[in-house]
Structure 1
Amino acid sequence: MAALVALAPIALALVLMVGLRWPATRAMPLSWLATVAGALLLWKLPPLYVAALTLHGFITAASVLVIVFGALVILYTLEQGGALETIQWGMKRVSADSRVQAIIIGCMFAAFIEAAAGFGTPAALAAPLLVSLRFPPLAAATLCLVFNSFPVTFGSVGTPVLLGLEYARPVAEAAGIGATAFNHGVGRWAALLHAPMIVLLPLLMLALLTRGFGERRRFGEGLGAWRIALLGSLCFGVPYVALALLAGPEFPSLVGGLLGLGGVIIGARSGLVAPRGEPWTFGASSSWPEDWIAIDDGG
């Protein structure tokens, strides 16, 4: 019974936001009320303690929003200052191929931003950059959200491991495992589990990109960029795994993202690992289906 009550606020938020497509401003207060009701009626927590926990939640949420707000400030500053045009020009000098741009910005740049800031900032920064390079908004959002997977474990300079597992440390300490050893152990196993996907996910996403959004709808066009994808995976994955094994959870994604970004840019500019043939693009935007550009709000 207690487990079901504890699950109810999460289930309610999912039903309202995903099923009924309510905005978070309406769904989350109801989820909070369900949480408060369970705390007061089932667990018999003192009202003052519930109020203190609510305040703690507000402060935690505010800290996340400040980080996201900072990312949006950077984005709009770049936009208003004309820097997006400079980035577009620079990216076209590196490669006019949308597959290469997807690896550089959607994967490596977003991984570095996740490592440095986290909390949704990769999608907030990388997706608009891809859209400015004439990616369909749906493709840009999908790439950034799916690629933002293996960097997350060590995002925000290791926050998911250092703080996210805080409540599991007493169990580890009871077994005679210190906090530092516990953090490093979790980081090591997480990096090893992620290692195969660091290699496979870029290839898979490029294949799905050209199959879902290409003019000819072929998986093979995405796999034609396998050299640049593999270079990015190696430049990111080797320091990612090495630092997780040897140093701890703070820097694997940060250093991996930085080296991966630099390695892919150098490789693309040199032409040694660039895709063969004509640059692949999404075609004229006038031919894009409506659902590539806008999402129906259900109303």
Structure 2
Amino acid sequence: MYRQDFDPTGSLALSALLASLPLLTLLVLLGGLKWKAQWAGLAALAVSLLVAVAVFGMPVGQALDAGAFGAAFSVLIILWLTFNAIWIYNLTVDTGHFAVLRRSFAAISDDRRIQAVVIAFSFGALLEALAGGGSPIAICSVMLIALGFEPLKAATIALVANTAPVAFGGLGNPITVLGAVTGLPAEDFGAMAGRQTSLLSLLVPFILVFLADGRRGLRQVWPAALLSGVTFGASQFAFSNYFSYKLCDIFAALVSAFALIVLNRVWQPTTADEPQGPPHTPAVIAGGAAADPAAERRVGKPDGGADSTRDQVLAFTPYAIVVALFSLAQIPVIKTALDRPTILFDWPGLDIANPSGHPVATTYTLNWASATGTLLFLAGLLTTAALKVEPSRAAVVYGRTIRQFGWAIFTILCVFALSYVMNLSGQINALGLWLAGAGGFFAFLSPVVGWFGVVVTGSDAGANALFGGLQVATADQVGASPILFGAAGSAGGVMAKMISIQSLAVGTAAVGLVGSEGTLFRRVFGWSIGLLLLLCVLVYLQSTPLLGWMVTH
């Protein structure tokens, strides 16, 4: 048995510094030295294994096995999900229905900057609420390319937009996990997170408009950005506090989209934004660098005539199927039936105890029936039938979908292996305990802990599972609200979603630029840090009498 030691050097600061080496390696190689993500991820994994064995005393066999455990976990929770999400999108492109969908979104507004907000912010939030796992980043990126955005800008906008809904993504799964690991009411955490993320949601549409068209965009379309942010944030706050945190992203997405549709009826920007590329340029992932007029003419009337109602309904059908399936999957009877075939088993070779001697859970959950990826695969099969795609053609499109990811698959496997080595060896806990030593100032640092958790795990739910207990324990030690610190960690993790290497890998794969993760990282890192610092200030003020009235009790 390997017994974890969170302070193997006898100096918590030194132990934390050594534990941070894999993260520093990843950030420096990716953002500073511009290494490709697969090699930066592999190097960080190697450093984490070295630190686990040489510093934290983890046996070599168990350290390697922990990495294998993490890689295997990523197959179901990330790869299976993302493959199927992009497959659905590729089916719509292959049949020509995506061209109709694009024109339908364009009908909301003639302005590409407003279209970016509707697609990346509102529609992306709906996808995050239902599926998560990188699907909104992938799908929204290629939709933005089709509107005329260059690939890296499209991926940047999709990544930043994915910030707002993540805390409540997957029907509130991060908050549910936080309640489960702390033993405190998930509803209270949801309400508190809603009092934090909803304020930051006000800013995100402005950032998206700036990314799309700089200061000119802000001057010309700020009313649309303001309305989108206010309606989304207000809906997120209202549903997380007074209805159900599990539904707040769904309704926030729909309300903000509807608000922009209404606004477009009475107001338009004085100067329209000019697309950066030729109209109707397909996404790279959809079939190459050149436009394919034949594919676009399979359905609808792209040469000036209006698309028929039937064509428009069929174009939205795949996403309606996704909404319907995930909604049905939440019905208790159906949810129980889907959970019943789940297979649980202890990962072979791992025998780990925490410093108190209690076993550390190393259970692999093979929830093959209820997994998000499986529901998306079923949605893909139904989409195949609805769009009348031949099974052989659907299989070809699926194969092409997997091939387009290339090295991104290896990157994701490496980073999840890194996450589990750092977690099971005790490196993550060493970092968390060192930060917890800040006392009352930990209120400022609490979101940073969640931010680090998502950088490593790529998942807000994973970060909550990792650090939720630490947040609550620290709150008890310093006499603060455990609900405040727990929610702050989850909200802070949201700000790291855009720079987690899994998200970067999904984004670059979706736009056909695998290997450009470092460039994409540098484009979004500043926004991640800026939003994180704003949240840190907000949480600190919420821990004081100045904004203490905002805290859920």
* 1:129, distance to aligned residue in structure 2 (A): 0.7
Deviation per CA, 1:192-251: give whole Å up to 9, x if none: 12233322332343245333xxxxxxx354333233333323432222111211345422
2:46 equivalent in structure 1: 33
Aligned equivalent of 1:261: 257
CA distance in 1, matches of 2:245, 2:65: 31
SS of alignment partner, residue 203 of structure 2: helix
Tell whether 2:198 aligns with 1:195: yes
Q: Does the alignment pair 1:126 with 2:140?
A: yes
Native 8 Å contact 2:92 2:98 kept in 1: yes
Residue of 264, 272, 275 corresponding to 1:279:
272
For 2:42 and 2:216, how far apart are their aligned partners in 1? 47
**Computing the radius of gyration over CA atoms, which structure comes out larger, 1 or 2?**
2
Is the 2:117–2:225 contact (alpha carbons within 8 Å) kept by the matching residues of 1? yes
Where do 4+ consecutive residues of structure 1 move more than 4 Å? 164-167, 283-286, 293-298
Instruction: Give the aligned partner of residue 106 of structure 1.
Output: 120
Distance 1:281 1:295, change over 3 A: farther
The Cα shift of 1:46 comes to 4.0
AA matched with 1:275: Q
CA contact (8 A) 2:22 2:45 kept: yes
* 2:82 equivalent to 1:89: no
Report the Cα offset of residue 73 of structure 1. 0.9
Residues 67 and 296 (structure 1), Cα distance of their counterparts in 2 relative to 1, 3 Å cut: closer
Question: Which stretch shows the higher mean deviation, 4-13 or 197-206?
Answer: 197-206
Do the aligned partners of 2:117 and 2:205 also contact (CA within 8 Å) in 1? Answer: yes
For residues 131-180 of structure 1, give each alpha carbon's deviation from its aligned partner in whole angstroms, at most 9, with x where no partner exists.
1111233432222222221211112222333336866x2xxxxxxxx33x
Q: Partner residue of 1:223?
A: 219
Q: Is the Cα contact below 8 Å between 1:227 and 1:275 reproduced in 2?
A: no
Q: Deviations over 1:43-90 (max 9, x none)?
A: 223445434422331132112121111222122112111122111221
Distance 1:48 1:203 in 2: 49
CA contact (8 A) 1:243 1:251 kept: yes
CA distance in 1, matches of 2:271, 2:35: 44
> In the superposition, relative to structure 1, how do residues 4 and 89 fare at CA in structure 2: closer, same or farther (>3 Å)?
same
**2:213 corresponds to:** 210
Distance in 1, Cα, partners of 2:47 & 2:245: 35
Corresponding residue to 1:54 among 57, 67, 75: 67
Offset of 1:282 from its aligned partner?
3.2
How many Å separate the matches in 1 of 2:144 and 2:92? 14
Distance 2:515 2:56 in 1: 41
After TM superposition, give the deviation of residue 107 of structure 1 in Å: 1.2
Q: 1:148 aligns to what?
A: 162
CA distance in 1, matches of 2:47, 2:217: 49
Residue 11 (structure 2) aligns with: none
SS class of match (2:63): helix
Distance 1:264 1:10 in 2: 40
Deviation at 1:284, TM superposition (A): 6.0
TM-score, structure 2 as length reference: 0.44
* Percent identity of equivalent pairs: 25
8 Å contact 2:150–2:277 — kept in the other structure? no
* Corresponding residue SS for 2:119: helix
1:64 pairs with 2:60: no
Paired with 1:235 and 1:28, the residues of 2 have a C-alpha distance of 39
1:137 correspondence with 2:128: no
- d(CA) in 2 for partners of 1:113, 1:87: 15
Give structure 1 stretches of 5+ with no counterpart.
Answer: 170-177, 212-218, 287-292
Larger relative contact order (Cα-Cα within 8 Å, sequence gap ≥ 6): 2
Distance 2:225 2:61 in 1: 54
The residue aligned with 2:22 is 9
What is the RMSD computed on CA atoms of the aligned residues? Answer: 3.0
2:31 — aligned with what? 18
Alpha-carbon distance in 2 for matches of 1:147, 1:191: 17
C-alpha distance in structure 2 between counterparts of 1:260 and 1:24, whole Å: 35
CA contact (8 A) 1:6 1:38 kept: yes
Post-superposition Cα deviations, 1:111-131, rounded to whole Å, max 9, x if no partner, equal 111222222222211121111
Q: Cα offset for 1:276?
A: 4.1
Q: Answer yes or no: is 1:239 the counterpart of 2:239.
A: no
Measured after TM superposition, the shift of residue 257 of structure 1 is 1.5
One-letter amino acid matched to 2:201: I
Aligned in 2, Cα 1:67/1:164: closer, same or farther, shift over 3 Å? farther
Contact 2:199 2:233 in 1 (8 A): no
CA contact (8 A) 2:157 2:211 kept: no
SS of match in other structure, 2:202? helix
Match of 1:185 among 165, 181, 188: 188
- How far residue 186 of structure 1 moved from its aligned partner, in angstroms, is 3.0
The secondary structure found in structure 2 opposite 1:245 is helix
Report SS of the residue matched to 1:130: helix
Correspondence list, 1:142-181, <5 A:
142-163=156-177, 169=182, 178-179=183-184, 181=185
Distance in 1 between residues matched to 2:205 and 2:70, nearest whole Å:
36
The number of aligned residues is 271
Deviations, residues 1-51 of structure 1 (Å, cap 9, x unaligned): 321221111111222222222223322233222222222232223445434
Decide whether the 8 Å contact of 1:224 with 1:275 is kept in 2.
no
Partner Cα distance (1:37, 1:23) in 2: 21
Q: Is the 8 A contact 1:158 1:250 kept in 2?
A: yes
Equivalent residues of 2:36, 2:515 under 8 A apart? no
